[in-house]
Amino acid sequence: MTTGVIQLDHGTGGGMSQELIAELIAPRLGAVHSGRMEDSAVLELEVNRIALTTDSFVIDPIFFGNGDIGKLAVCGTVNDLAVSGAVPRYLTLSLVLEEGFALADLERVLDSVREAAAAARVEVVAGDTKVVRAGEIDRLFINTAGVGLFERDLELGVGRVVTGDTVIVTGWLGNHSIHILSLREGLGFEQRVLSDCAPLDGMVGDVLEEQGRSVRCMRDITRGGLGTVLNELAEGAGVSIRIERQRLPIQHETAMAADMLGVDPLYLANEGNICMLVAPGAAAEILEVVRRHPNGGAAQIVGTVREREGSPVTIVGTDGTETVVELLYGAELPRLC
């Protein structure tokens, strides 16, 4: 490993692969890593009901203002598990590396994996490392699969949504996307609009602990943004959802940047933002629990669930007119996560 960059032999499965794992990957992961990072991990579970999820991360650039692809990979998978109602517990970590990728950059990414996994109280139990020739991939892609345990006696799901339910959004809409797009396009907003990338298992855990019976379902607001999430929920539940433009948590600079880019924050991906459908009587208390959390300060009640009539999702503008929130069809915004 003396050349300081990834070589093809780091992926050959022999001595150099073993050295990379033993001398760089395992030490960097430190306490959040258990097992041999090869082949299968054996897990003894205390429950019989688990959540399983997978995500590949291809973000460009891999390092951004307040995070990187490693943090993103952990948070994305942790949040997917958390919104299912499961407690995130185990991750796998699969790296596909470009020949010539700097080992120092790999170390930075793994430091972020360690920090995010520690924050989310998950263990990395199995891994894989592949190396492809220079030019065959752009630097580094990561896949994380995750296992969460259903430790609470709660059923969440779109089938539990009923007319009258309240829609809560836990954070600023679109900040992750605007941060990355601004970095890529050199717009200068990246200092003022940071990525929201964060593990939200703690926030979700507190909500379920204190008000779990009143939560119908939750969704991570990722690709496609709130507009897509709400359309999926409305279709799944057979209801209509009406939101109000003036209640949407949108940071001023995010709105400005989105305007410049010709995109709507309603369709932009977050990486640490959740949409919750909850019983109306508990909405104010749930909002308080969310706002106590470091990533929940901007949380808002944004709308209500109604009987299905007309379009699945509508938005009431600041002038009082109601328009349809269509499903996003195309936007050509690749590699935001």
Window 16 to 45, contacts with a second copy (CB under 8 A): 16-18, 39-45
Contacts to a second copy from residues 294-333, by CB under 8 A: 327-333
218 vs 287, beta carbon nearer a second copy? 218
268 vs 290, beta carbon nearer a second copy? 268
214 vs 222, beta carbon nearer a second copy? 222
> Whole-number minimum distance, CB 207 to a second copy, in Å?
17
In whole angstroms, how large is the CA radius of gyration of the chain? Answer: 21
Give the interface size with a second copy as a residue count (CB under 8 A).
79
Residue type, 184: R
Residue type, 62: I
Q: For residue 259, give the H/E element and its range.
A: helix 252-261
Q: Which residues contact 259 (CB under 8 A, 6 or more apart)?
A: none
Structure tokens at 325: 């929130």
Among 178, 200, 269, 305, binds a second copy (CB under 8 A): 269
135 vs 320, beta carbon nearer a second copy? 135
Phi, then psi, of 330 in degrees rounded to 5? -145, 150
| Interatomic CA distance for residues 139 and 134, integer angstroms | 9
**CA 231 and chain centroid, separation:** 19
Among 32, 190, 267, 274, binds a second copy (CB under 8 A): 267
278 vs 328, beta carbon nearer a second copy? 328
Q: Which among 111-119, 138-146, 178-186, 247-255 is the span making contact with a second copy, rule CB under 8 A?
A: 138-146
| Interatomic CA distance for residues 286 and 306, integer angstroms | 20
> Whole-number minimum distance, CB 193 to a second copy, in Å?
20
Residue type, 74: V
Structure tokens at 157: 């799901």
89 vs 287, beta carbon nearer a second copy? 89
Q: Which among 121-129, 163-171, 255-263, 272-280 is the span making contact with a second copy, rule CB under 8 A?
A: 121-129
Give 13's DSSP letter: S
The residue among 302, 293, 320 whose CA lies nearest residue 242 is 302
Contacts to a second copy from residues 68-97, by CB under 8 A: 80-81, 83-84, 86, 90, 92-96
> Whole-number minimum distance, CB 252 to a second copy, in Å?
25
> How long, in residues, is the chain?
337
> Whole-number minimum distance, CB 284 to a second copy, in Å?
28
- Would you say 223 and 269 are in contact if contact means Cβ atoms under 8 Å apart? yes
CA atoms within 13 A on the CB side of 171: 30
Among 1, 8, 154, 324, binds a second copy (CB under 8 A): 8
In three-state form (DSSP H/G/I as H, E/B as E, the rest C), the secondary structure along 209-251 is HHHHHHEEEEEECCCCHHHHHHHHHHHHHCEEEEEEHHHCCCC
Residue window 145-174: x/- pattern of binding to a second copy, with contact defined by CB under 8 A: x-xx-x------------------------
Among 2, 3, 4, 15, binds a second copy (CB under 8 A): 15
